[in-house]
Structure 1
Amino acid sequence: MTEEQAKELLQKYLDQQANPEEEKKVEEWYATLQAKDVLVSAKQKAAIGEQMLLRLKAAMYEKPKYNKVLKLQTFYKIAAAVLVMVTLGLAIWKISSQVKPAGNQVTASTGATERKRIILPDGSVVLLGPSAKLSYPKVFASNSRHIALKEGEAFFDIAHQENRPFTVHTTTGVDIKVLGTSFKVKSYQASKQLEIAVVTGKVAVSNKKGKLATLVRNDSLTYDKNDGIAAIHKIKATVFVEFAFDGASLNQVIAKLQYVYSIKILLNDSALGNLKTTASFNSRQSPEEILDIICSLHHLKFNGSKSHKTFNIYR
């Protein structure tokens, strides 16, 4: 039965037009839903409460067809029916929201054509693709962050916290460990392969037997679930992330750039690290382009190694 059909049936019950079989179905719903522990936000409860109050008031002051005074029995029946609607509404909200707290864990899922943006407790962002399911704690531990991608495809933009590693667990037994980066994971139970693509930063991929690989920007790993073999290849990034600095010190900017691009940046004068920077960048830009902008802001210069992996900033 669809939500619309359920509403129609409940309205018939309210209007006392339901047949005995329909009345029985509504009352069974009520008995079942009453026993369930349904969790909704305070805002949702308030909205439902207001609707319930309006319906009850309307029932109390409605002009009766046969008597001037609304019979108490009829009022109670309407009140009970409204309560059924409210309780069912809570259940429908719980199902349709598809973000369900259970104890310390929260489960988020998407439909076959749905995409969803999830903000984790640490500020990290997860973009869930269609038919995906993600589980994460309401509050992360003080020294680690663990979540589980149980099905589907998801893009992760992880908040950088050096002392609190972030790990994504998958149903294949493959784990992805990061400190702060952005990457995509595709893990469907019906597929024999798991795929990981790193957009920025660095991740360590492992299974129960040990470490499989360390991936950096534009690296992609394909893992065969059947034989446990991983293959790595380079990709051209199709997803880009923004990173902004609002009055951050040059030391903070450097720390972020080093992790995003897996590079080393050195200052020839430690005092330069206190310079403040306000700017926004995109991972589409190269490290050289970003360093050129930063150095222009502070009237500095930089040079890089032949491998483009080490850079020096100086006056």
Structure 2
Amino acid sequence: MEEILIKYVIGEATAAEEEQVSGWLKENKSNVQQFEHFRLIWETSKTLQTESILDEELSWQEFKAIVNEAQADAKPDLPAGKLEKQKKPVRWMQMAAVWVLIAGAALVWFTQYYQAKAELITLQSFDTVKTDTLADGSIITLNKNSVAVYPEKFTGNTREMKLLSGEAFFNVAHNREQPFIVHINDAAVRVVGTSFNIRNNKTKAEVIVETGIVEVSRKKVTIRLRPTEKVDIDYGTGKFKKGITKDTFYNYYRTKEFVALKTPLWRVVEVLNEVYKVDIQIPDQVLANRKLTTTLRLGSLDPILEVIAIAFNAHIVHEGDKIIIQ
């Protein structure tokens, strides 16, 4: 098809080939994009000043020999040497066009590459949660102390961005023809239209799916996840650990609350330690395994600890840097 497109843009296509290109363009949007790319390269190439180093007469003799040989092989009854010289040998026109297209492609790629670099947006949250709507309508919510990089406008066959560090929730706009890919270190999360949470740091990453289907790939390993499923990636060992998320605590920075539904107290404490950077301990294993059903508002830690104390008739004891529930 590329050969026909070359002939089409340089005006050497036959009526049948022009009809074939017309039908091909109607098949899907990606074909239109490819055609526009070819035409852009051709228009750009017109500005390039090139000097032919071909011997016209020698090239014509070679061209006649090739065509005559092909005719003799296809139809032995036709006499060779009957080809008359034309003003524009199509084969050499096509060969020259290919070289011009290559030169033009290099120029266009170079220009577009550096323009794309200049249009990258860096979203950094520092000490607050940030939300932004991307060019395709997808929404990204960045947790505190997180950094994401994405283009001002998505181009090409994919929508790609990077979560450099921290945590983010993605609500991706559906577009089957342009998959959405989030790069995390040397791994990639690929979706069409779905919502999921990624937590990424230097040593490991966690991906939790809320809706839709997500593919997580690293090197030659690909894991497919469905709603409520998650995968942990250990960058050091390269191991994937797939499992089920039994709560929605990963959403706390978006919803501003911790929703516990028959959740073991040790799990609630685990999340509180991570979010508030404290050291809460439960020495009594029986108490640690008791279950809690309530909604805890994100804010000061003391009111949360007070709710836990009332729910389990427990005491909160501060010992240095430790907080003990007993």
TM-score tier, shorter chain, comes to 0.3 to 0.5
Q: Which has the larger radius of gyration?
A: 2
What TM-score, normalized by structure 1, do the two folds share?
A: 0.41
Q: TM-score, normalised to structure 2's length?
A: 0.40
Per residue, is there more helix in 1 or in 2?
Answer: 2
